[in-house]
Each structure stands twice: as C-alpha cells, then as structure tokens.
Chain A
C-alpha cells in the first residue's frame, strides 16, 4: 500500500485540451465540406500543407524549448491553427504561402510567446495579417465559385506548375463590390451590382455564402457542445449588423445590407472561430460581449472604408490587444458580493 501525497478532488471530469481541440476541428467540417463541394478537394490539399507545416514548426520549437513533444503535439491546438490558416487564405494560393502562414502562426505567434495558452494574439489572424501585408497581391486573389477548373489544374496552380491563370483568380465578392462602388463614384448602386449573378448569390457572394453558412453550422455545434459561449459570436454579429444596418439605412445605394456583410468574407468564421478563441480573447462574459461587439464594428469599418479586402483579422488583433484591459474592468460579481440583492 502506498499512501500517495495528493489533494482533492480525486474524481475528475472527462474534459481535456485534446477533446476541446478535436471538437473545434469537427466544427470546421461543415465549412470544409462546402468548400470541397464548390471548389473541389484542393482545399484538403491546402489543409494538409498547412497541417504538416504547423506540426513541423511546433515540433521543432517544442524541442528547442525542451517541452515534451508527445503531450503537446497531440493536444490538437496546432492543427486548429493550421486549419484556420488554410481556410482564411485564398484556396488557390501557392502552397508555400499557406505553409509559410501556418509556420508563422505556430512559430512566431504561438511558440515564441510561450506556446499553448500564452499567445496574446490569435495565431491564425497574425498569419493572415502578416501575409496580406507581405504578399498583398497573392492574398487578395480569390477564385470565383463554383470553379470550372478541375482538380489537376488547381493542383498545378497551387504547386506553381501552371502559369498564372486569370480565370482562376479574381477579387472576393466583398472586394468586387467595394471596387465597383468606388469606380462608379456614386453613379452605380449596390442593388444593380448585387444583381450580377456571376459574382453574387442570394445573400452575398455566390458560393461563398454557403461556406459562411457552413461556419454558422459549425459554430452552433460548438455552442451546443459548450465549447464556446454565446456572448462573443452574438456580440460580433450584433456589432457588425448594427453598423452595417446604420450605413445601409442612411445610404442604401452605397452600402450593402447587414446580411450581405455577415455572409461575406470572414465574418461568420470570425464570429464563431476567432472571436471565441479563449487564449487571446476576453474571458469574462461582459468582456466577451464588448470584445465581440467592438470587433464586429471594427471589421466592418476596415472592410468597407479601409484598403484591405476584409477587416476581421485586423479587428480581432486590435481587440486582442485590449483583451486584458477589458477583462480587468469587467470582472463579474462574486457570490454574495453583488451590489444589488
């Protein structure tokens, strides 16, 4: 008999970091499936490239930092980052760009800050921001959906074996709308532009709106599983809808409606998968409301009035900076210490 020195509790729940991360990966599947349906399996290749790159980077850095490889490589957090990088990058971007993005996210944004749980910024968003600054052209060219080209041509494009094909690359619907409105200088209206069936679908960009819906499904799954809390996503959607609704109500000719913005770009992915990142986001319920709402407004302002095709990444990174402060001032009342009884 050995009386082990330890303290209560001795009975533990089933939760694990690995379990949480695997469920996040599972929640990404609807969007990935939609991607495959509209674009083909090339997105799976990109996800594989990002995963390998992230895991290699993670392994090297863990080894350099003297951390147990098995424990941390198996926790699934690097895969979540890798998948998010692959899904936020243009699907036909050269493989090295995706690999670089994943590597940057893991090595610089995560491990150099101390690894799992220590990164002040969302690694996938850091990767996106870094690459869009460094490679603006590559990061801004997106294929129209559904894409006519087959898997082999796409594969060649990704691995640089095919000369640049214009038909494969264009602006995102969000970018297209912004550019046309700017070129039109007030003479074109949003409604006439959105009527173009080549670019736009029912709600937002043709095809892309379905991928956004895939993120919505995954997000609802995570809510149901208790992986994320409702405050962040709801506040993000509310924030973006509020400012979009305001602009739209004032100038319906020059501003798209809120639904268009929610289903465009990275809005819904940001709402459910980025804003909810516990490490770099807010932890208090009120803080999450503030974080989400502010990120929603900022993302809209950047994507509509700024120079980048989308604003989710920069909005989230700016709010990441503020998260500790927000948490500090939104600490919830403790049992028995509520001011109003």
Chain B
C-alpha cells in the first residue's frame, strides 16, 4: 500500500466528466488540409526539411529538431506540402506562428517505420529516438520528453505516470486508460528502464474507477519484476498538477524553479507514455492524439485526431449548439479562449470545450477584496493570492515577486472561490508579464550599454593606433625625403577620418602608406569608396523587404516610377550644372 500525502488547498468544482466519459475513442475523419506549426515547444521553432510542392508520406520528418528543447515534426498524413507560411496558433496571444501546410492526398500512406528495440537500446539511443519521434508531454505543457530523460544530478528513484486528469470536463486520458491500458503500461516500463527508477507510481483520481481497474489489470499482466503500482488519489483539483501529484504520491514538495529530477522524481502523462510506446514499439512518431470534444455540443466525444487538424473542422464533429459563444482549448480552469478556429490542434491540445452563456455565465461584477482569505485557503501552492492581488494592482511588482508570485501555477483555484469575483489569475498573469518585460528591458539596456562602451573603446583604440602608424610613416618619409613639406600635417589630420573609413584604411598594406603621399591617399580613397559601396549594397539588401510581397500591378507601377526616376536623373546629369537650379520646373 502506498502512503498518500496531502497538498493544502484545492477545490472541488463540478467535474462534468460524465458528458463525454462514456464515449469510446473514435478516429476523426482525415482532413483535407493540415496545418503544422513549427513551434514544437514553448521556446523552440523547428526548421523545415521539406519544400513547397514536395510530396510527403505519413510519419515523414518535415521539420528538424533545433536546440536542446527541440523535437522533430512529422507529416500526420501523406500528401503535398502546399505552403510554408505563418498562421493561427492556439495561444492566448493569437500571434501567427510559422507552419507547414500539407494537402492530404487521401491515401494516408506511411513512410518506413523504424521501431527501436527498447531492451537493447541504450538510454542515449532512446532519448534520440524520442526526440526524433517528436515526443513531448501531452498533459498540457508540451515539455520535450527526451529532456526529462536526460540524467540529472540525483538518481531518479520514482517514476510517476500522471493519469489524474483533474480538470473538469476532460476525459481523453480517462478513455485512453480504459481502452489502451496495456500500451500505457508498456510505455511506462520503457521510460522506467530509461531512467532506471526504483519504482513506478501511476496516479489516477478516484473519480475514474474504470480507468483505475483497467490500468491495474494491465499492470498485473505486464509489470513482471518491476515495482509498479496504480494508485487512486483523492479527487481534488488540481491533483493532476505535476507538483501536486508528486506531493500526493511521494510527499516531496518541489519549489518554483526546480524540476522533478532535482528531487529524484520524474513525471510523465499517461498520454505521453502511450506515445512513447507507439514510437518505440511501432516506430510511429507523434502525429495524432486523443482530444475530448465536449461542452455545448450535441454529441460529446473523445477523438483520435491527426495533429494539424483545424479546430473548426474538429468541433464540427460534435455539432455545437446555436447558443455557443466561445471555444476553449483545454478545460474550464486553465484552458484558453480560442481567438480563431482556424488554429490547428497541436500536441498539447487535450480538449476543445464548447462554451455557452448557460455553461459558463459571464463573471459577476468585480467587488473589492474583503481579505477573507478564501483564496489563500484554496491555493495549492499556499500563496496569499489577495496580497499578490494588492501588489499587482498597485504595480508593486517587487513586492509581488517577494511574495512568491512566480510560484503561482495559474490553476485558477483562487479565482474560483473568490466571493468578490476578482479575476485574480488575470492579475497574476499581468504582473508576471510586466516583471518579465521589465527584466528583458533591463537586460537589453545593459547589453546596449556594454556594446556602446565597447564600440567607443574600440574607436578610441583604432584612432590612437592609426595616428601612431601615420606619424611613424610620416617620420620615416621625412627622414628619407629631402622635401618634407605638408606630410606631417597630413599625418596630424588623419585621426579625423571616420571610424568606418579607418577600418577600411587598415587593409591598405603598410608599404602603400610608406609610398608617396598621393599614392597612399589614392589607395585610401579607393578603400573608402569600396566600403561605402559595400554598405550601400548591404543597406539595400536589408531595406528592400517591403517590396517583396507586391502584386504584379504594384510591381509594374514601381518599375514605371523607377524608369521615370532614372531618365530624370540622366537628363539632370546631361544638363549643364549651372542651369539645374533655374531650369527646375515649378510645380503647380
């Protein structure tokens, strides 16, 4: 029996899971067009490996993993790359994100799949395999799995598989555990071997008895010699938060800024474990996931959807009711309000929740905080949200930081319980954004200052070096020549040359400088002219961008203008210089 621990706070919102929990996972129809954002995880963009017009196969890598956090992106179906552009992405900012667009050919033809023999593969090979299979955390944050498997300082004692699914309405993990428990356990065992954990704990909220039963059965059949337990944890939002589940199952509390492996714990979502199994045993990269479609729809369900499916097409499967007023991605506690249904489903999309004024009535008017402390009692991170709220409102950001603003996981418990209906989380997001922006500015200012000082220093140094060189050359010349007139003056004037020109002048061989003054001047002038020409070409290359995406008509127009300008310049050059000012035509 596993000893369970408690985390403080938490709430018990209406779960509404029964709306979709009885619907078995169904395969969503193949969309005609798929949109694959290159943002594969929070800070990383993948680089396209395909060109527009290229035919790709299902499972083929179409963008390469970049950086430590990068993972490979794959074609979810076979078809033709019809565009590589920027488009909607399911993020609150609603900013466009670079993407690859694939027009499905309807064949859904796989490329050659490369399974990995997990028994013989080294942990490094497995990490590379998962990275190349595009495996990221499917619980919500989308953290790359191979990074989580990288060896930390402490040995991992406990591997936790998160099947808590504490957000109301969402049932994708519930159904996955009920229907594909054996694959999840197999995936968990692969992860277990890779990190060499002592034991595996699979935590599931006790409001999912069928999932618990299915997982326990699969665990009994497959665990073998592994210390693997399926544990029912009390239903209390946000028990599925990684830090909360780790606390409940192990008693370990992980502070802000620390990761599981600092404490010998590592946590993966059940969906991720399933994806690992598919990637390793079947060689299938992460190109689909289970997404719950629920809320204000005629038919709620759980769908196996290809990544990149436009959300508009996906929600149509559930037939939203006429009074629908919003679409959330994720659950009602932490989900985001989708600004555009043209955005595609991505790896972290666990649910599309269709909202109506009846299901999610508008927030009642905000009242002043009465410091009742309900929020503090509900906060799973034991913060004092009302204090943070005062600080955020007053713009007292240092104080907010001091009161652990960044420990806030934005779970929404405080906003949920607030009797004054204050959108506390919104204040915290704002304050976090402000602090981050301020720190970025500070960093940028410091960098700019450093650059400026370095530049000044360099200019000074070069000026001094040049003056010294020219003085030396002049002295040598004076010693050699019998007529030493004016050279010293030329040497003294040289430091006034602009830094850009002096850099160019440096390339002039010393022998040239030592030659006659007129030859040295000519060489310097040529070098300056060359540098200015280079600068002009560079400037044009940088500035010409705004004329790239023009319509043919605009291009014709511009060409005509350029021609006129050229002929006018030619005429002006041909005309005698003295006449130019007087013969310029007066504009009406």
Interface on A for B, CB 8 Å cutoff?
1-13, 15-17, 19-20, 68, 71-72, 75, 77, 114-118, 229, 278-279, 283-284, 327, 331-338, 341
With A7-B337, A336-B243 as given contacts, are A2 and B325 in contact (CB-CB < 8 Å)? yes
State which of B13, B325, B370 has its C-beta within 8 Å of the C-beta of A13. Answer: B13
State which of B253, B326, B335, B404 has its C-beta within 8 Å of the C-beta of A4. Answer: B326
14 A-B pairs (CB sep. < 8 Å): A1-B324, A2-B326, A3-B338, A7-B425, A10-B326, A12-B363, A16-B419, A19-B419, A20-B419, A71-B367, A117-B367, A283-B387, A334-B404, A335-B255
Does B373 belong to the interface (CB within 8 Å)?
yes
Contact B371 A279 (CB under 8 A): yes
Contact B416 A12 (CB under 8 A): yes
With A13-B417, A16-B421 as given contacts, are A332 and B373 in contact (CB-CB < 8 Å)? no
Contact A11 B333 (CB under 8 A): yes
- Bound form: Cα–Cα A334–B409 in Å: 13
Hey, what's the 0/1 contact readout for B458-475 against A, CB within 8 Å counting as 1? 000000000000000000
Does B332 belong to the interface (CB within 8 Å)?
yes
Closest to A67 in B: B368
Closest to A338 in B: B253
Does B369 belong to the interface (CB within 8 Å)?
yes
Contact B419 A3 (CB under 8 A): no
Stretch of B264-272, B374-382, B543-551, B570-578 lying at the A interface: B374-382
Contact B254 A336 (CB under 8 A): yes
Contact B360 A10 (CB under 8 A): yes
With A11-B416, A13-B13, A16-B419 as given contacts, are A335 and B7 in contact (CB-CB < 8 Å)? yes
Does B403 belong to the interface (CB within 8 Å)?
yes
Q: Which residues of A contact B234 (CB under 8 A)?
A: none
Q: Which residues of B contact A333 (CB under 8 A)?
A: 382
Contact A11 B372 (CB under 8 A): no
10 closest residue pairs by CB, A with B: A336-B255, A9-B412, A117-B368, A11-B332, A335-B381, A15-B419, A336-B253, A10-B360, A10-B332, A278-B372
Interface size class of B (residues with CB under 8 A): 35 or more
- Bound form: Cα–Cα A16–B338 in Å: 28
- Closest-CB distance, A259 to chain B (whole angstroms): 30
Closest to B417 in A: A13
- Closest-CB distance, A324 to chain B (whole angstroms): 11
Of A13, A71, A337, chain B has the most CB atoms within 10 Å of the CB of A13
- Bound form: Cα–Cα A285–B451 in Å: 51
- Closest-CB distance, B187 to chain A (whole angstroms): 28
- Closest-CB distance, B81 to chain A (whole angstroms): 30
Closest to B409 in A: A335
With A8-B335, A10-B355, A11-B332 as given contacts, are A3 and B327 in contact (CB-CB < 8 Å)? yes
Does B423 belong to the interface (CB within 8 Å)?
yes
Does B454 belong to the interface (CB within 8 Å)?
no
Q: Which residues of B contact A2 (CB under 8 A)?
A: 325-326
Closest to A2 in B: B325
- Bound form: Cα–Cα A12–B361 in Å: 9
State which of A7, A19, A72, A334 has its C-beta within 8 Å of the C-beta of B382. Answer: A334
State which of A8, A12, A72, A284 has its C-beta within 8 Å of the C-beta of B421. Answer: A12
Does B168 belong to the interface (CB within 8 Å)?
yes
With A9-B334, A11-B14 as given contacts, are A17 and B370 in contact (CB-CB < 8 Å)? yes
Does B498 belong to the interface (CB within 8 Å)?
no
Of B254, B332, B336, B372, chain A has the most CB atoms within 10 Å of the CB of B372
State which of B325, B332, B369, B374 has its C-beta within 8 Å of the C-beta of A15. Answer: B374
Contact B8 A8 (CB under 8 A): no
- Bound form: Cα–Cα A54–B376 in Å: 31
Closest to A19 in B: B419
Hey, what's the 0/1 contact readout for B354-397 against A, CB within 8 Å counting as 1? 01000010011101111111101000111110110000000000
Q: Which residues of A contact B383 (CB under 8 A)?
A: 334-335
Q: Which residues of A contact B420 (CB under 8 A)?
A: 17, 117
Q: A114-B368, A117-B371, A336-B381 are in contact. List 5 more A-B contacts (CB 8 A).
A: A5-B339, A20-B419, A279-B371, A336-B256, A341-B253
- Closest-CB distance, A82 to chain B (whole angstroms): 17
- Closest-CB distance, B435 to chain A (whole angstroms): 17
With A117-B371, A283-B373, A341-B253 as given contacts, are A11 and B382 in contact (CB-CB < 8 Å)? no
- Bound form: Cα–Cα A284–B379 in Å: 13
Hey, what's the 0/1 contact readout for B227-266 against A, CB within 8 Å counting as 1? 0000000000000000100010000011110100000000
Contact A334 B418 (CB under 8 A): no
Closest to A11 in B: B332
Q: Which residues of A contact B330 (CB under 8 A)?
A: 8
Contact A278 B7 (CB under 8 A): no
Of A4, A19, A327, chain B has the most CB atoms within 10 Å of the CB of A4
Does B11 belong to the interface (CB within 8 Å)?
yes
- Closest-CB distance, B469 to chain A (whole angstroms): 61
Contact B335 A10 (CB under 8 A): yes
- Bound form: Cα–Cα A116–B370 in Å: 7
Contact B243 A335 (CB under 8 A): yes
Contact B382 A332 (CB under 8 A): yes
Does B456 belong to the interface (CB within 8 Å)?
no
B313-351 with Cβ < 8 A to chain A: 324-328, 330, 332-340
- Closest-CB distance, B274 to chain A (whole angstroms): 26
- Closest-CB distance, B557 to chain A (whole angstroms): 38
- Bound form: Cα–Cα A229–B373 in Å: 9
Does B506 belong to the interface (CB within 8 Å)?
no
- Bound form: Cα–Cα A332–B168 in Å: 29
